[in-house]
Amino acid sequence: MLNIIIFGPPGAGKGTQSEYIKERYNLTYISTGQVLRAEIAAGSEIGLKVKDIIDHGGLASDEIVAEIIEKFIVNHSDSNGFLFDGFPRTVKQAEILDNLFKKYNLNLSGVLSLEVPEDILVERMLERGKTSGRADDNIDSIRHRFVEYDQKTKPVLDFYQNKNVLHPIHGVGTIEEIFDNICEVIERL
Ligand code: C5P
Ligand code: MG
């Protein structure tokens, strides 16, 4: 069973690459960012709580995200492997995921960390903002997303490095080239 986390700063291509990864390896995919945006669009209780934070590039609370993830795992207990995109975003979330894996008898196969320089990330997100309709693909929210990433998300890399499951991926190039880099690593897991 393959259980993979796709990790990287905002704009690294996690969502784009996930579309290919989940197809090739038949994985059950969840993007917490997508789920949160759907909650906002639906005007749900969670959506109302997180809308302002997310529109401005901040992070939802660990409790909210953990609840979403546990529900998803439980609802897909027949899965033959999960692909987590955009989660964990904090060390606390990584610890929560560890506990969920123990609780549901799952094993983490690897963390694929997309590495892309910041100027390219900004360029990609501004380009995406022209058509994505995402409230956070504007320069002010992008800046805040980087601050959140540096302060809260980057430490997650050390957490997984210490567990020897971290795999850096060169994240610059065409979508196909980057997907090849990813597959090379997955085949070795
Ligand atoms: O993962 P993605 O880049 O799509 O996330 C977009 C936004 O969703 C983040 O900038 C953040 O506001 C929110 N998010 C979050 N907590 C997560 C994942 C995403 O708050 N675990
Ligand atoms: Mg995404």
In the prediction, which pLDDT does 135 show? 95
DSSP character string of 16-67: HHHHHHHHHHT-EEEEHHHHHHHHHHHT-HHHHHHHHHHHTT----HHHHHH
* Phi and psi based region of residue 173 (left: phi greater than 0; alpha: psi -120 to 50; beta: remaining): left
Q: Domain 2-188 - what CATH class?
A: alpha beta
Q: Indicate whether residue 65 lines ligand 1 (CB < 6 A).
A: yes
Q: Is residue 86 within 6 Å of ligand 1 at its C-beta?
A: yes
Ligand 1 and 87: CB distance under 6 A? yes
Tokens 């990609």 — which residue?
A: 124
Task: Verify whether ligand 1 is closer than 6 Å to residue 21 (CB atom).
Answer: no
Residue-level pLDDT, tens digit, the chain, 189 residues: 999 999 999 999 999 999 999 999 999 999 999 999 999 999 999 999 999 999 999 999 999 999 999 999 999 999 999 999 999 999 999 999 999 999 999 999 999 999 999 999 999 999 999 999 999 999 999 999 999 999 999 999 999 999 999 999 999 999 999 999 999 999 999
**DSSP character at residue 174:** -
Task: Report the atom number in ligand 1 closest to the C-alpha of 50.
Answer: 20
pLDDT at 18: 98
Cα distances (Å, whole numbers) of residue 68 to 46, 82, 168: 10, 14, 27
d(CA 89, CA 60): 9
Q: Looking at residue 142, what is its pLDDT?
A: 97
Q: How far is the CA of 33 from the centre of ligand 2 (A)?
A: 6
Which chain residues have CB less than 5 Å from ligand 2, an ion? Answer: 14-15, 33
pLDDT at residue number 30: 98
* 3-15 tens-digit pLDDT: 999 999 999 999 9
Query: How far is CA 98 from its chain centroid?
Result: 16
Best CA proximity match to 93, nearest among 120, 61, 123: 61
Q: Is the CB of 32 under 6 A from ligand 1?
A: yes
